[in-house]
Structure 1
Amino acid sequence: MTDSRNAAWDTYARTKPQRRTTNSRGETTWFNWTQYPDHGPGVDVLRLRPGDRALDLGCGSGGNAAHLATLGVWVAGVDLSARQLAKARERWPDMDGWELHQGDALTYLRDTSTTFDAVYSVFGATWFTDPELLLPVLHTSLRPGGVCAFSQRPPVEGCYGCQASYIPRGPDEDPAVVRRWDFEPEEWTLILRDHGYVDVSASVITPPAGSRRTGTLLVRGVRGA
């Protein structure tokens, strides 16, 4: 199963361009929660300080993790796609303060002895992993008061729980299929509270003015004492 998921995300990586060289403010690294450039909240969602430790689940080509590393935060990035991680290493070959791991988010969390000040996922592993399995082990890896935050597309109305995502492949191949988990903001709030998170918030960030596309669901919770 993991091998087929790796292949699916490597396929996706071939179609995903690298992050822009700079953003609209001329910065070479930045944190982005949404699918739109220069839009939405920033790194302050995570309440991190220099010297803290963060975990990026589904780090992709490393843009958000690289930004945290430049702020003095130590970051572990985990992704199933070797191709995505190769993009990250190519873009930031001399980056200090991060480690990149190929593998499954659940496996990494179960195996690590590191305690994190924040665990986050931007259109990443929290979208594509059963929350009943992921949230308990994620909770264990957070320090008390640590932040769990993730963003993804809002659900299609009436399509909740485990759904299918299709990743295009070659012209003569069927799409690769991966599972994702979709819930309304209110349901995500209940799910996180049921797993011991407090100060939970979940809402949809509206898309940029003039866009007719969907917004971005942002969910955030804090590990209780």
Structure 2
Amino acid sequence: MPRTSHDPVLFWDRYKPDRDGPSPPPDATAFEWTQYEGHGPGAELLGQPRTALELGAAECREASWLARRGVHVTALDLSPVQVERARRWWKDVPGLTIEEGEACSFLRASDQTYDAVYSIWGAVWFTDPEELFPLVAERLSPGGVFAFSHGETPQHLQGRRPVYGKGPEGREMTVDRWCHPPEVWADLAHGHGFRDVRARCLPAPADQALGTIIVEARLPA
């Protein structure tokens, strides 16, 4: 019997498994692109959207933050465990819709458009950009913002790479991750019709090692 399995739903079901924990107080959440609290830019990268879609929202902290400020937010995640927890945590937040599904399938099935589509260490990092980027472009309003972030990756780890984790009974699990430096992300965005692309690696705070790649792009108005 193989000891390694490729099951993205189960992989993300087991991510941050404290599903029965209490919801954080609203004033404890913020809009963060990095893993370091208060480090780097915030929601201003999205401009002033009326509607937004988050891809790979997990706990939906940023989505709930936006919704509490009047943005109509759809938060999408592949994992039913993550979705159940987020719906329980943020059930009283108006303007927030939490959906379960895979990013490309959701975008193909929808005819809704958004002023902003974003992902914070989420689905953009774990989906083939050649498939995802044109679908995002179809669902963005003219002039809309596409922005995402993920962890800095070593230069020798580029392209599609497996990420390993532990599944049931100690079985090794994998999920695919797309590792690109900022200049490659910028080329991909330009190639799929985005403009005003800014891609960079934000260095980590002085006492930390891992920086954050942040990409911003717009559709032509």
* TM-score, with length taken from structure 1: 0.90
User: Aligned pair in 2 of structure 1 residues 97, 186: CA closer, same or farther (>3 Å)?
Assistant: same
2:13 matched residue in structure 1: 10
2:211 matched residue in structure 1: 215
Whole-angstrom distance in 1 between the partners of 2:91 and 2:113: 26
Q: What is the percent sequence identity of the aligned residues?
A: 37
Q: Which whole-Å deviations, capped at 9, do the CAs of 1:26-83 have from their partners, x for residues lacking one? A: 933320100112221100000024xx11000000011000001011000001101111
1:80 matched residue in structure 2: 78
Whole-angstrom distance in 2 between the partners of 1:191 and 1:34: 22
**Following TM superposition, by how much is the alpha carbon of 1:19 offset from its aligned partner in structure 2, in angstroms?**
9.8
Contact 1:57 1:125 (C-alpha < 8 Å) held by counterparts: yes
2:103 matched residue in structure 1: 105
**Following TM superposition, by how much is the alpha carbon of 1:201 offset from its aligned partner in structure 2, in angstroms?**
0.6
Q: Secondary structure at the match of 1:7?
A: helix
* TM-score, with length taken from structure 2: 0.91
Greater Cα shift, 80-89 or 213-222: 80-89
Contact 1:11 1:167 (C-alpha < 8 Å) held by counterparts: no
2:42 matched residue in structure 1: 42
Aligned residues: 216
2:197 matched residue in structure 1: 200
1:139 matched residue in structure 2: 137
Whole-angstrom distance in 2 between the partners of 1:217 and 1:165: 18
Greater Cα shift, 138-147 or 40-49: 40-49
Q: Which whole-Å deviations, capped at 9, do the CAs of 1:154-200 have from their partners, x for residues lacking one? A: 22221111011112234x42221000111111111111000000000
CA RMSD of aligned residues (A): 2.0
The answer for unaligned runs of 5 or more in structure 2 is: 1-5
Greater Cα shift, 190-199 or 35-44: 35-44
- Taking CA–CA contacts closer than 8 Å with sequence separation of 6 or more, which of the two structures ends up with the larger relative contact order? 2
Contact 2:22 2:89 (C-alpha < 8 Å) held by counterparts: no
The answer for unaligned runs of 5 or more in structure 1 is: none
